Chain A
């Protein structure tokens, strides 16, 4: 996996030698600056605890240049790391007396970087291990339970409605031509409906009525604002797992029902679409 040319000499940036036609173009995809750094460290057979910041910095920067040259997208995270490394490199080049006078934040930063690298390395290893387990598990075939077979529970086989399903259902409702309300008031009052109100309303309905068809929440004539607030309320409740949005089959009618294992609603207070917040203990 030869990507960056070896640079034994700090002074030579050798960017001019890194032309696309000289290097193999199968650059490994790095998942961020830490990933790249680990690769460089490993490639140079270094010990993480004793990396030479100067050497690593140069190679790192070369790699960034290479990415730019090959028109690859360089995420800002890489640039933030570049500046960190340059700072550390500059610290390491100061005469030791001067750096001691300025305090040891250079050393702290370096230790922090090493700690970060080690931690990330652990999880890369954990990821590899998980992949192996995934592969091993995929070799085993269990008996797939018959859909019509209820077993101990009486729940029917359902799929969770996705966000797309909910949006489609809502769009259908909104697109329906709605006639004017039977009694149009002379004065149009401003709607003071909030998502918070609707959240309470939806929850109350599913608590008392059980499973309710999605369309039922929008049945009465409602203003656009009310429709949207209701929809957002359902989304928020589904997102925080207070309710389930389910379908008997893909693309079938959606139903909303309470999640029996949801956190107790009385311990949450819903802000105006800011999500739930816990009420003070002495309520």
Chain B
């Protein structure tokens, strides 16, 4: 039992030192003799302890790893002292293009434009500038257009654990339809 405490302390130290999301594999590498399932279990315990004891820190799962962050309840107060780097929020057009890449990756520019019905050159370029999207290869068709995929930065920016953390398009539809309170859909929900 004392061992566990020490181990948790060490994991906590690693997470703190990293700042950025830290994958379990790297923790395992840093500490010989510990296996991934054990580390995972201890991380969950840490997370529960943070939550139970009402600390100002929480442990979140993001970008295929774990990270220590502050809690949303304190966001307002924190902003009074520290102005967050203005990573300006994305426009609707950029979010639409990004969603298409995220769900259908890898995709070509043309794929994105077909779905949106408009030219998407500038939005895709700005997404690449922000490192949310990257070139991941070429499609094996005439013209060999470039293929685009999302990056780890994308996961981090949106607080996603991994790509499966995105709700499926069907799930999203249900969420939106029921909230729009349309009669037909109440029946469909069955």
Contacts and interface: CB of A to CB of B under 8 A. Distances in A.
A151 B138 CA distance: 35
A126 B172 contact: yes
A123 B99 contact: yes
A125 B135 contact: no
A126 B182 CA distance: 19
Contacts of B58: 140
B53 interface: no
A260 interface: no
B84 A138 contact: yes
B162 interface: no
B70 interface: yes
Contact of A116 (B92, B99, B117, B158): B117
A142 B68 contact: yes
Contact of B99 (A31, A35, A130, A162): A130
Interface residues of B, number: 59
Given A130-B95, A141-B75, A143-B19, A125 B173 contact: yes
Interface of B: 16-20, 26, 29-30, 58, 60, 62, 67-72, 75, 78, 82, 84, 89-90, 92-93, 95-96, 98-100, 102-103, 115-119, 129, 134-135, 137-138, 140, 144, 146, 156-160, 166-167, 169, 172-173, 175-176, 182, 184
26 contacts: A31-B118, A32-B116, A33-B118, A81-B117, A119-B115, A120-B116, A122-B173, A123-B96, A123-B100, A123-B116, A125-B172, A127-B98, A130-B95, A130-B158, A131-B92, A134-B89, A134-B157, A134-B158, A138-B75, A140-B71, A140-B72, A141-B82, A142-B68, A239-B135, A241-B134, A278-B140
